[in-house]
Structure 1
Amino acid sequence: MLIGHLSSSLARTQVVGSRLVVSSLEQSIKADVPLIIDDLPSDAIEFLAGARQQQALSGEAHEALLPLVYVSGATFELAQVPKLAGLLDGVHSIAPGWPTDLSASTTKFAALVAGWDEALWCDRYLYGNPKILSGFLSLLRKKTDTRFRLLGALPTSESGHTASEVRTALQGHVDVEARFMHRLDYKTLHDRHLVHIGAGNGFVLPVSRAIFGLDNAGSAIVAPAARFGIIYADYWRRASPV
């Protein structure tokens, strides 16, 4: 892996410590920034973009980031050479913030699934406001022909909505299939993912309330994911039809 090669190169700069070696490595990293980012797990990209706390990193992301950071106490900070090489600029260019305007939000969402036949949108709180979700899907359908599978948890009593309301709100939406997660899968399905069905790649999304414009998106980003740590087809099969 490119990250492993980078790790050994950075280690050599610590031993040699010359300005010439550091400058040479900096130029090498600049050329490889897209490949380095492609090697990183999606939650590592979120961390570098400032949208995920270190303590929320997966073990895979923690290991992948080690060559790129130095540890100050127990805290990760981006090492000097990757910082100089523009790694953060590269991360922000492929993981931009989410728009706050609803029309711009649907345009952004449609762009993410451009060329996809079918997508799965997983968010535990996707059904928290059924009418807002329905309105978003209506606007989105005007901008994409992609078929959608929606996977979310049953609305909680705190939300003030019911499964029946979700069912009613989603009636009439073309090429949209919605299911409720199995309750035993809630903990596993804690991230918000947009999955390219059949390809296995996709994106990490902001929370649905930010996508709907109900909450300020703040530092929320959309980050590409070359793979996911779970097989969504398994969770979809044991989910209940809305």
Structure 2
Amino acid sequence: MRKGTCMELCDLLSPALKHKSTKMRAALTVEKRVAIALWKLATPDSYWSVRNQFGVGRSTAGAAVIQVANVITELLLPRVVTLGNVQVIVDAFAAMGLPKCDGATDGTHIPILALDHQGSEYVNRKGYFSIVLQALVDHKGRFTNISVGWPGKVHEALIFKNSGPFQQLQQGTFFPDQKITFGDVEMPIVLLGDSAYPLMPWLMKPDTGSLVSSQELFNYRLSKCRMVVECAFGS
């Protein structure tokens, strides 16, 4: 991270992170709290290593990471992860081959250390401990919605069914006033998922089985458009 970016982040978080000094000890500056959090989140170092790097106690380092992460989630997440301009996104996906599409969804596993309790719940299908990040991205791979924290053992379809977007899509409130009519059929804006996701009126997934040419063409276009979420996780 560039120094300018780090200082801009400190300015944005400062109102919520600024602590007053006491007679017992001076409060850590906002800049140091942010630096500790960024270091710990960006490296696999232990808190003992962070303590030595920044000259603070292990508990102080741990508290700084939690405080900064919570403030980022509260203040910055709603500013950065937004639905965006729906019509622009729909037009872009249409140009890629699928009309009335506003995004692609998928999940990725974030490795974690083994837990002292309920560890088996966090072992994913590849055999390591993880939590699942499920995301919705636009045509440029920008995150428009995220859900994180489910144990790695949980299936992606179950995570999706318990997410905020699923409930809103079911109620027709996720994309308000964004529908189109083909003949007598009212078609909502759709999302794209892989074969692990359930087929819904507003969620398209690949056709399976013995396919005719039109289905193969649909799968090709869906795969081409859904690739944006794979690239988003890989970048």
Q: TM-score, normalised by structure 1?
A: 0.30
Larger radius of gyration: 2
Give TM-score, length-normalised by structure 2: 0.31
Using CA pairs below 8 Å that are at least 6 residues apart, which structure has the higher relative contact order? 1
